Structure 1
Amino acid sequence: MAKQNFNKFTDLVWTVTEEGIYKDDLSLEFHSFVLIISGEMKIIQADKSYTFGAESMLLFPRNQISAVIKQPKDGRPYKAVVFGLTVERLKAFYAKEKPNLNVPPDPSVRILNEQPLLKSFFSSIIPYFELEQNLPENIAKLKFEEAISILRFIEPNIDSVLADFSEPGKINLVDFMEKHYKFNMPLEKFAYLTGRSLSTFIRDFKKAFKITPQRWLTRKRLELAHFQLSKKDKKAGDIYLEIGFENLSHFSFAFKKQFGYSPSEL
């Protein structure tokens, strides 16, 4: 069962615990500074994937479409601490600190090597979940500035990501959708990430593909599933989450409706 604990004192940090396998397709509006305590997390993006285990630390940039699969490992549930780096707080930080913008922004997931400053930081915020009163904003601000200062120290070019406050511009819709159709995102999020309003996105989509977004997405996902089952010798239970379906029964039903036979018959 999925469980997220948002602590009482601030919106900066929370814990996530998954007792079983849990998958979410997302594109966050803030950067996530993460420590995995136990279990395993797999991040699947359009052109790459990552697998993280216990004690992994990473920075997950905002506005990146990803499928995130969390599951137990070695008899322990997935559990992580997430520290959110919001645009609002980052703007306030960089209003006082000149960013180093010598390199272009790199939206890749940053894998952070074990380092005393990182371990000390996460160790200092975990006890906050035991508080019974709100943490003063000035302390929350100090912890936020500590997080940014540590990241800037260990990742010299991180300002190019953290101080990039630009919003997605209008991009090629066909190229974007061909890369990201596997991700089960709301149409509003697809529209935003391609630099369009929802109505413009739907209009441009129908003009480009001659079909509605919902029907095209289902068809593309099922075609990919058929290829992986018939040519890659994979099983339905191994692929349904990674191609944008929420559960195996829904996938099997849609597959049979599309092709006239079930995945197991194939």
Structure 2
Amino acid sequence: MLIENIPELFIDDPRKDYDIFVHDFKMTTDVVKSKVNLRMNMFSFLQVGKKQVHFGGTSVAVNKEQSLLIKKGNCLWTELLDTENIYYCKLLFFSEKILKEFLKKHITKPAVHKKEAPFFIIENDHYITSYLNSLSTMDDNPSLFSDNFLSVKFEEIALYLISKYGNSFKSYLQSLVVEETSPFREIVERNIYSNLRLEEIAFLCNMSLSTFKRHFINEYKSSPGKWLQEKRLQKAKTLLEQGNLKASDIYWEMGYNNLSNFSTAFKNRFGFSPKDIS
């Protein structure tokens, strides 16, 4: 699967450097776990459809009632159509330069360097709808609006969200300028019971698959495929023994694409099939 560099993918002139950039994103087919190298922090104002984003240690899912502010870095996007058979969101990208200028102007209190999630969920409301309409007007007349004007629009939405969410949004904005490294073990162990493939976990660790495998063996003294399978099958056995779930309820979240493959792996490991557990 190719890695999509965003927002470069949406920019007509790759020679131009943007500090702030707006893009209308529409599609008519589902996209599942697309690899994205997000090079700027981004507002994703979802209008129609559903969106799920996997990060190194967590994930988030929203519908058209919500939007996201997403921290730059590697992530996996799943974008699903709604009943209208279309997916549509308005994306607002902004550089660290724009963010620092805003923080210097409006937030004088020093940042408390605490770890924040790589996303902030925004509940859509009438003000945000009006704000997005104003950005759409800019799309209709792009020659009338400069980067300076867009900077004012960034300032507008950031100030509004501070008034709406208070210190939690202030702290989140401040966290975007704090460089963090993603601890390898934390990412791996947060995704033990996810349905992500090794290749996708490696991507979230900012590693190639071969580098990830070498690093994993150094850390865990086992191959990642064998280690993850053991953990997931043991978890599956525990869940089935509790009597509330069937194999058909859990095979997907245990990392298997179909029930048959899960049942075969389970029987090879324990000597009996999942349906034999009563």
Match of 1:163 in 2: 174
- Say whether 1:207 aligns with 2:222: no
CA displacement at 1:8 relative to structure 2: 5.9
Instruction: Answer with 145-154 or 107-116: which moved more.
Output: 107-116
Tell me, yes or no, if structure 1 residue 6 matches structure 2 residue 10. yes
Q: Which has the larger radius of gyration?
A: 2
Higher relative helix content:
2
Q: Residues of 2 paired with 1:7 and 1:128: CA distance? A: 16
CA RMSD of aligned residues (A): 4.6
- The answer to whether the 8 A contact 2:236-2:254 is kept is no
Secondary structure in 2 matching 1:163: helix
Q: Is the aligned partner of 1:16 residue 2:31? A: no
Corresponding residue for residue 66 of structure 2: 56
CA shift, 1:15, in A, is 2.2
How far residue 135 of structure 1 moved from its aligned partner, in angstroms, is: 4.2
Going from structure 1 to structure 2, the CA distance change for 1:243 and 1:116 (only over 3 Å counts) comes to same
Alpha-carbon separation, structure 2, partners of 1:135 and 1:7: 17
Structure 2 counterparts to residues 1-266 of structure 1, below 5 A: 6=10, 12-24=21-33, 25-26=35-36, 28-43=38-53, 50-63=60-73, 65=75, 67-100=76-109, 104-107=114-117, 109-131=119-141, 133=143, 135-157=145-167, 158-164=169-175, 165-169=177-181, 171=183, 173-180=184-191, 182=194, 183=196, 185=200, 187=202, 189-191=204-206, 203-211=214-222, 215=225, 219=229, 232-233=245-246
In 2, are the aligned partners of 1:15 and 1:79 still within 8 Å (CA)? yes
Shift in Å at residue 80 of structure 1? Answer: 0.9
Is contact 1:35–1:82 with CA below 8 Å preserved after alignment?
A: yes
Change (3 A) 1:21 1:199: closer
Unaligned runs of 5+ in 2: 1-5, 269-274
State the percentage of identical aligned residues.
Answer: 17
Contact 1:57–1:112 (Cα < 8 Å) also in 2: yes
- How far off its partner does 1:82 sit? 1.4
Cα deviation digits, residues 30-54 of structure 1 (max 9, x gap):
4332221112223456776554323
Q: Contact (CA 8 Å) 1:60, 1:110: kept in 2 or not?
A: yes
Calculate the TM-score normalised by the size of structure 2.
Answer: 0.63
Q: Distance in 1 between matches of 2:179 and 2:38?
A: 13
Q: How many positions carry a matched residue from both structures?
A: 247
Kindly provide the amino acid, as one letter, of the partner of residue 91 in structure 1. K
Pairwise CA distance, 1:159 = 2.4
Q: Unaligned stretches of 5+ in structure 1?
A: none
Change (3 A) 1:145 1:219: same
Change in Cα spacing, 1:26 to 1:239, as seen in structure 2 (3 Å) is farther
Distance (Å, rounded) in 1 between the aligned partners of 2:62 and 2:138: 25
TM-score by length of 1: 0.65
